[in-house]
Structure 1
Amino acid sequence: MKVMQLLPELNSGGVERGTLEIARALVAAGHESLVVSNGGRMVSQLEAEGSTHLTLPIHKKALSSLWQICPLRKLIQQQQPDIVHVRSRVPAWLTHFALKGIPAAKRPHLISTVHGFYSINRYSQIMTQAEKVIAVSDSVVQYITDNYKNCPPEDIVRIYRGIDSAAFPHGYQPSVQWLNQTFKDFPELENKFLICLPGRITRLKGHETLIDLMQQLHHQYPNLHAIVVGGADPKKAAYLQEMQNNIQAKNLADRITFVGHRSDIREWLAFSDVVLSLSSQAETFGRTALEALSVGTPVIGWNRGGVAEILSRLYPQGLITVDDQSALQATVKKHIDTPQQVEPVQAFSLKEMCDQTLAVYQQIVK
């Protein structure tokens, strides 16, 4: 098979990682893998792993993107993929119009993956207009069936995102060199009980909740320290400043450390004593929560969306009622007072995700 995946850019994030993982699985199974995007820092890895990257500016939510319909149609006609797999709304719309200009008999099969709880409107509906619609969790299946009656339930396939347990092995510990460097860079982290909030700096990730939690607990637990792992986009600089002002005002500057964008997320998750998932909106899956549990670090998170699906199967004692601050405090206290064990993770494997996705490709081509 020849499969062409389309997404806006290849910089960082769950959609991008999923694209690379499926590309790798296609190549390993002897198929041809093409990826179309505006490029980004993950392109070199994609190409090193045997895929072809085709650069096209299909990333902007702007009318000017309509100029890319003809170049995209040309690309599809030149490459003649068996399947076009769209992973985001702008590429999905451009593909929709590009395919209209190709005779029906020569069109590739169309698959989409719904990665997000998109706003409910005509613009988002395009993600449910494909021969098969992959949903990344049961929460997403529910969202599609509730809001997009145009999408027949039999066309929806739930395929959980997966992680490579070899990359996040149970009981993993960072190297001595990593620890030495970290204590050199952030001496305030040594001999502390560390709670970690991973995720880029945006209002959705629950940083305010973390600040409030630290304000409530820091007197009772002098060695409690919070780490925020994730970078701030230049557009979020004002929000980051607002947060840091709030931290100063509450005298928590020596209790919360921002370590910025990191490529060593596994180390930070394993280094932490507890990982939090406090997003103010439901996550469609919650890969970071899964990665933390995989290395054996307890996760405490709101009981909603994909994170709740992961926790209810792997670590139910980490589930707390949405926005219940006192339950959050009590659960964190329990973890500080009595260290908890996480069983080795058997579910949500990368191999399952890839096998199931390739099976959908095979089925549709047949």
Structure 2
Amino acid sequence: MKILQALPALYSGGVERGTVEFAAELVKRGHESFVVSNGGPMAEQVRGQGSTHIHMPIHRKTPASFGQILPMRKLLQELKPDIVHVRSRMPAWIINLALKTLPADQQPGIVSTFHGMYSVNPYSAIMAKADHVIAVSNCVRDYVLKNFILPEDKLTVIQRGVDIDAFRHRVINDQWLDILLSRFPQLAGKKIIMMPGRISRWKGQLDYLEVMARIVCQRPDCHGIIVGGAEPGKERFLQELERERSRLGLTDTVTFLGQRNDMTNLYLFADVVCHMSTKPEPFGRTVTEALASGAPVVAYNRGGAAETLQACFKDGLVAPDDSGAFASTVLALLDKPRPVIELPDRFLLKAQTEATLAIYERVLARKGARPA
């Protein structure tokens, strides 16, 4: 098949990383893979793995983005994809409007993924107008069926998969560790409590600092690391976090590592990984990656992250927003040997890829089309 994935940009985040990994899997399986976005650091990775990246400014949530309807129409006419997989609302609108001007026999199958619990309004409803819709967790599925007009048989839950071979049965690279500790010597010999995720208020970094303040009072051998960058527009929140770190007296015990491309090693380096989103997260990719690495994860018992922990590591579940219980759970895990964690198959990239390809085939069969 010829597959075109559409998303706003390729900077950082679970949607972007999932798109890049899925594109690589398509290439491995002999499909033609294209990604259209406004670009970003991960676009080079897309190209390096054998897919074609097409730069188009489809990221802005403003009427100006509708100026991309005609360029998108031209792209679809030239590429003639079998499936267009939309992963965000503005690209979905642009593609939907571009397709209205194409004859029915020239229109590809449209698959959308609800990567989040989008606000309930006509702008978000475009994601439910695809030929088939994917939800990344059961909580997202329930949300979509409750709030959008969509036949239940057109919606499938496919959990976001991880490339398990990239995370399990690995050991920390000594050279990597030497470089890390030379830059951050304060981490040497410490129990590492890691908080991965982009810098954003709803990701819960403020709660994490409160938890770290509780932990270091009892375990001064612990050190916290916040791993993730501040995207454009989030710089003020990063400054707020730095002020709060200082107010709590954590300047010497919590380190901001910024955006990193060595997460596989960092999961192995961490003694405990924290997930503290302040609202139900649709999936929680860092949870799955950490568990695949064998790292114990502590998370609030809500949303997609909780679904993952309920499946393979219930010891890490904490009542939502209870920072005291969260700190106690982290401390308890530090006193135990690193657990043996087995991820169910549905959380693996192989299963996600095969389930998604099956959806593509069903969409094409319903349209009476066959891959070019």
TM over 0.5: yes
Is the contact made by 1:21 and 1:354 (CA closer than 8 Å) also made in structure 2?
no
Work out whether 1:298 is the aligned partner of 2:279: no
The residue aligned with 1:131 is: 131
Work out whether 1:242 is the aligned partner of 2:220: no
RMSD: 1.4
Post-superposition Cα deviations, 1:80-125, rounded to whole Å, max 9, x if no partner, equal: 1121111100000011110111122321111111111111111111
User: 1:187 deviation in Å?
Assistant: 1.1
Is the contact made by 1:202 and 1:232 (CA closer than 8 Å) also made in structure 2?
yes
Between 43-52 and 101-110, the greater mean CA deviation after superposition = 43-52
* Cα separation, 2, equivalents of 1:227 and 1:77: 48
* Cα separation, 2, equivalents of 1:54 and 1:232: 25
The residue aligned with 1:25 is: 25
* 1:287 paired residue among 273, 285, 288: 285
User: 1:266 deviation in Å?
Assistant: 1.2
* Cα separation, 2, equivalents of 1:45 and 1:232: 21
Rate the CA distance shift 1:122–1:223 in 2: closer, same or farther, 3 A: same
Structure 2, unmatched stretches of 5+, are: 366-372
The count of aligned residue pairs is: 364
Is the contact made by 1:285 and 1:307 (CA closer than 8 Å) also made in structure 2?
yes
User: 1:191 deviation in Å?
Assistant: 1.3
Rate the CA distance shift 1:214–1:40 in 2: closer, same or farther, 3 A: closer
* Cα separation, 2, equivalents of 1:53 and 1:333: 45
SS at match of 2:220: coil
Rate the CA distance shift 1:357–1:176 in 2: closer, same or farther, 3 A: same
* 2:317 paired residue among 316, 319, 323: 319
Is the contact made by 2:211 and 2:324 (CA closer than 8 Å) also made in structure 1?
no
User: 1:234 deviation in Å?
Assistant: 4.4
Is the contact made by 1:315 and 1:342 (CA closer than 8 Å) also made in structure 2?
no
The residue aligned with 2:272 is: 274
Q: Which amino acid aligns with 1:314?
A: C
Between 63-72 and 17-26, the greater mean CA deviation after superposition = 17-26
Post-superposition Cα deviations, 1:290-347, rounded to whole Å, max 9, x if no partner, equal: 1111111100000111110100011001011111222212211211233341323343
Is the contact made by 1:276 and 1:301 (CA closer than 8 Å) also made in structure 2?
yes
Is the contact made by 2:5 and 2:85 (CA closer than 8 Å) also made in structure 1?
yes
Post-superposition Cα deviations, 1:38-68, rounded to whole Å, max 9, x if no partner, equal: 1222222222322222221111111111111
SS at match of 2:298: strand
SS at match of 1:166: helix
Work out whether 1:112 is the aligned partner of 2:109: no
Is the contact made by 1:206 and 1:279 (CA closer than 8 Å) also made in structure 2?
yes
* Cα separation, 1, equivalents of 2:239 and 2:19: 33
Structure 1, unmatched stretches of 5+, are: none
SS at match of 1:145: helix
SS at match of 1:244: helix
Work out whether 1:352 is the aligned partner of 2:338: no
The residue aligned with 2:369 is: none
User: 1:132 deviation in Å?
Assistant: 0.4
Rate the CA distance shift 1:218–1:27 in 2: closer, same or farther, 3 A: closer
The residue aligned with 1:15 is: 15
Between 20-29 and 299-308, the greater mean CA deviation after superposition = 20-29
User: 1:365 deviation in Å?
Assistant: 1.2
Between 19-28 and 95-104, the greater mean CA deviation after superposition = 19-28
The residue aligned with 1:176 is: 174
User: 1:185 deviation in Å?
Assistant: 1.0
* Cα separation, 2, equivalents of 1:31 and 1:329: 47
- TM-score normalised to the size of structure 1? 0.96
Q: Which amino acid aligns with 1:256?
A: V
SS at match of 2:217: coil
* Cα separation, 1, equivalents of 2:187 and 2:340: 23
